[in-house]
A and B are shown apart, each in its own frame.
Chain A
Amino acid sequence: MTTFSNTNNPAYIWDAFNQQWVPIGTGPHTHGTGDVPGVIPNTTVTAAGDMIVATGAGVVTRQGIGSNNTILHVDNTQPTGMAWVTPGTALVTGGSTNDGTIPVASSTATTGIAWQTYMAAGKNFILNGACDWWQRGTSFSSGSPTGGWTADRIWVQDYTSVSRSTDVPSGQGFAYSINIANTGFNYPRADIYIPAEEAVFIAGKTVTFSVWAKNISGNASLYFEQQVPTSVNGFNGSVTNLGGTTLAAAGSFSGSWQRYSYTFVVSSTAATNGLILHPVRDATTASSTNYTGFQLEVGTQATSFSRAGGAYGTDLLLCQRYYHRHTSSGGLYTNFGWGQGAGTGSAWIQVQHPVPMRATPSSIDIPTSYSGITLYGNSNNVAPTFYPVTSVVFDIADAEISSLNVGVSGGGITPSAFYRMINQSSTAWYLGFSAEVR
């Protein structure tokens, strides 16, 4: 006897139009994928993380999972319109192949991102990094290993000559480089002093130093290192050498312009005592080197060069906080200051500095000869006359307005009367003030 099941099963009728059986009623049954128009086969995906994506209207395919830690980004060169990439690699075709560029939003770029150079005021902690400013002159010679100030903010040691050069890396925007030549000294180096009040922002941080350099002559290596003074801004005294790295090995320092960089952690001591950086030709008795584009920035990459002040003129103003020189560029009778008679043999001449100096100026910088420099004035209602200057010293040193005690030969100065200090017959005269760190 037939046993009837309690399980529901469908019945089937023949669809003569589509030439297939069609279930009716309820109960388990199966279909081929072709039975249901538009169905996506589950065999499209084959592994964990696979995705089903479109390659066009009504067409789908498998987007396999990427490797660990990759990210999915839009890529219209792929059939699926997307691709997996490793973070940090180029998201925009032809973009990040330029070292030091940064991504920015771009409504015209396909991906909405474009790469561009990074120039910004304040990112470079080295003033006059482009070697634009040479207030003290454009050529120097030294027979002492102690060296001296050359281009603004660059103290050079172990040199025989330093000069401004127009030999610069092509297409970078620089107008000048600094040439450092030595014979007889062993470690010609360009000291860059960053005082504590500036270094405090980078102390303990990872920074990148970069510089364009060119070997003019000599086989010595190009080395870079950091030092810190052992007292507050004591750049003229005891320092601790913290070492560095060889930028170009002996015999391998190129005779063509190249940009060198070194990433390091700034000593925490720099926050209180300041920081010394220098490229040095190591252990040589004769060499000649050109440098330009000094830059120190936070981070691990040497980005596009920027002037510390962001512009040609602002870099000068920042340098003038440390040193400024008033020259005779106005020709004869250039005014160097004015004031009042102090006694019969001297006057107090006031000089306003172009910007407030970083500290009370410590010294005055003048030619050894006073030839042609005079005080011009007289007592009230008397025609002014010239009084040859014989000495210039500080009366009161001040960061904003300094007062000078200016002596003259032969007396004749009227106390309290008005006098100007001018170059009567020499355009070689200058008057400099230094608030430098050494």
Chain B
Amino acid sequence: MASLPDNVKLLTTTGIDGSEVDHVIIDNGDGSSTVMFKSVWDAQQELAQTATPYEGKIAE
């Protein structure tokens, strides 16, 4: 498993069906945290890898 960024912590809990579920707790650095299933976070990270850099307006 790839290591997580310093501001992201992993927490594993047991679900209602007894299965283990991974969560990430992201310290946003401004006093807030964002918590989500690790599977959701992985999908968001994968999509973000494709993000198009913004380079200003195109010709009108």
Binding site for B on A (CB under 8 A): 141, 157-158, 186-187, 189, 223, 225, 231, 234, 236-241, 243-246, 280, 282-283, 342-343, 346, 348, 362-369, 391-397, 403, 405, 407, 434
Contact = CB atoms under 8 A, between A and B. Distances in A.
A241 B51 CA distance: 12
Contacts, number: 98
Sorting the interface of chain B by its residue count into under 10, 10 to 19, 20 to 34 or 35 or more gives 20 to 34
Contact of A238 (B11, B14, B28, B51): B51
A358 to B, nearest CB: 15
Contacts of B32: 365-368
Nearest to B33: A368
B44 A367 contact: no
B35 interface: yes
Interface string B1-38: 00000000001011110000001010110111111110
Nearest to B37: A394
Nearest to B40: A362
B50 to A, nearest CB: 4
Given A225-B57, A393-B25, A395-B15, A363 B48 contact: no
B13 A237 contact: no
23 contacts: A237-B47, A237-B49, A237-B50, A238-B51, A240-B52, A241-B52, A243-B59, A244-B60, A246-B57, A282-B57, A283-B56, A342-B14, A346-B13, A362-B36, A363-B36, A364-B34, A367-B31, A394-B23, A394-B35, A395-B16, A396-B15, A396-B16, A397-B37
A434 B48 CA distance: 18
B46 to A, nearest CB: 9
Contacts of A187: 54, 56
A186 B13 contact: no
A368 B37 contact: no
